[in-house]
Structure 1
Amino acid sequence: MSKRVTLAQGAELVRNGGVIAYATEAVFGLGCDPDNRDAVMRLLAIKQRPVEKGLILLAADFDQLRPYVDESALSAAQLSRMFDSWPGPFTWVVPAKPGVPDWISGKFDSIAVRVTAHPEAAQLARLFGKPLISTSANLSGQEPGRSVSEVQSCLAGLLDGVVDSTTGAALSPSTIRDALSGEVLRGT
């Protein structure tokens, strides 16, 4: 069984290449260091998710996302629309900076980013010092875990730790929108 850990222990596990689960606005997410290829590939193997799909980066604030986002490809109005939705359960697909690894972007020249309103997830990103990978804590095609015990049950022994935290009040995973077009890609 994956052990329960504190926020500080979770950040340390991620810093050392580990894969953890942590609470977000609606469900638990799987997380790791987005710049550690081995950790991301392990996370994808645990989830049984193809690398081509790309992954979400979850951050405490936009400054943490700046190394990954090509801000010059977004207009002031597009940036404003994105900033107005944050912090919150809104993920935006934005142009990726050149050099962003394909294990984050998948087959796309864009990446999905979110500034979370979940206090514990934001604190985890602050303790880690940069964004975390965020993908629902479940095997592909199964329901995402909404509690520590559900995550421990469905992903028993596969994770380095499950942060002892509680999901927010949202009932469904984050809305995903295209920052260039404004189109809703998932959710409402």
Structure 2
Amino acid sequence: MLHVHPENPQKRLIEQAGKCILNGGLVVCPTESCYVLLHGITEKKPHERVLQIRNLPRDHLFTLICADLSQLDRYSRVGTLEYRMLKSHLPGPYTFILGATRLIPKRLVGPKRDTIGVRVSAHPVCQQLLQYVGEALVSTTVKLPGWEWPLSAESDLVEHLKTRVDCMLLAGIGRTVETTVVDLLADPPKVLRVGLGDTGPLGL
């Protein structure tokens, strides 16, 4: 458990969590929406643990969380219109559904799909962790089976996850509202889930 400052995270703690991810670990991290579970894109073992923690089906559509748009562009197919939408609303509490590139393992996009959710977090802790790791990470909201809301209190995170993850970056109480999800592959684009991100500026 690493208690990190939410606005000015301690570099040594970010490095500790980053090394954990680079070594194949599973990390709890705050974002501007909810706490999330993070692991490397190519890592199978932490991915299996996420499936167990969340009780998710194997064809669940996962989200990649990126440090910036240039990093996002490596993993998703972005046209001119999509880029304008992304640039206007990221970083922020939005997840956009886009076409996945071949850098994304099939287990993350599902057997019959070539799509992936992508987001860029504005939270300083998450941002600095992503910058240290140097690549996008698989992100899943910390929401347990049978729970109506994601875990937000540090005490709940510790109680339910301390033996199931490798590292926890704790930065105070988190939100319980997830990101707004927008499908940019639909014609026209459509909001799939109304969450923390304001849908008004999307113009949909």
**Equivalent residue number for residue 129 of structure 1:** 134
**Equivalent residue number for residue 185 of structure 2:** 180
Question: Where in structure 2 are the equivalents of 1:68-79 lying within 5 Å?
Answer: 68-71=75-78, 74=79, 76-79=80-83
Shift of the 148–106 alpha-carbon distance from structure 1 to 2, 3 Å rule, reads farther
Q: Secondary structure at the match of 1:32?
A: strand
Residue 153 of structure 1 pairs with residue 151 of structure 2: no
**Equivalent residue number for residue 29 of structure 2:** 22
How much does 1:150 deviate?
1.9
Question: Where in structure 2 are the equivalents of 1:35-184 lying within 5 Å?
Answer: 35-71=42-78, 74=79, 76-98=80-102, 100-107=104-111, 108-142=113-147, 143-166=149-172, 172-181=177-186, 182-184=189-191
Distance 2:165 2:43 in 1: 16
TM-score normalised per structure 2: 0.81
Shift of the 43–171 alpha-carbon distance from structure 1 to 2, 3 Å rule, reads closer
Q: Structure 1 unaligned runs (5+)?
A: none
Distance 1:99 1:134 in 2: 16
**Equivalent residue number for residue 4 of structure 1:** 2
Distance 1:42 1:171 in 2: 22
Tell me the number of residue pairs that the alignment of Structure 1 and Structure 2 aligns. 182
Shift of the 99–64 alpha-carbon distance from structure 1 to 2, 3 Å rule, reads closer
How much does 1:99 deviate?
5.0
Instruction: Give the structure with higher Rg (CA).
Output: 2
**Which stretch has the larger CA shift, 140-149 or 30-39?**
140-149
Amino acid at match of 2:90: W
RMSD: 1.9
Amino acid at match of 2:129: L
Show CA shifts across 1:12-38 (max 9, x none). Answer: 111111111110112110111112122
Contact between 1:90 and 1:174, CA under 8 Å: does it hold in 2? Answer: yes
Q: Structure 2 unaligned runs (5+)?
A: 4-12, 200-204
Q: Secondary structure at the match of 2:159?
A: helix
How much does 1:114 deviate?
0.3
**Which stretch has the larger CA shift, 41-50 or 125-134?**
41-50
Distance 1:104 1:167 in 2: 29
Distance 2:168 2:102 in 1: 33
Distance 2:40 2:135 in 1: 8
Structure with the larger RCO, 1 or 2 (CA within 8 Å, 6+ apart):
1
How much does 1:60 deviate?
1.2
Q: Secondary structure at the match of 1:113?
A: strand
Shift of the 38–67 alpha-carbon distance from structure 1 to 2, 3 Å rule, reads farther
How much does 1:147 deviate?
3.1
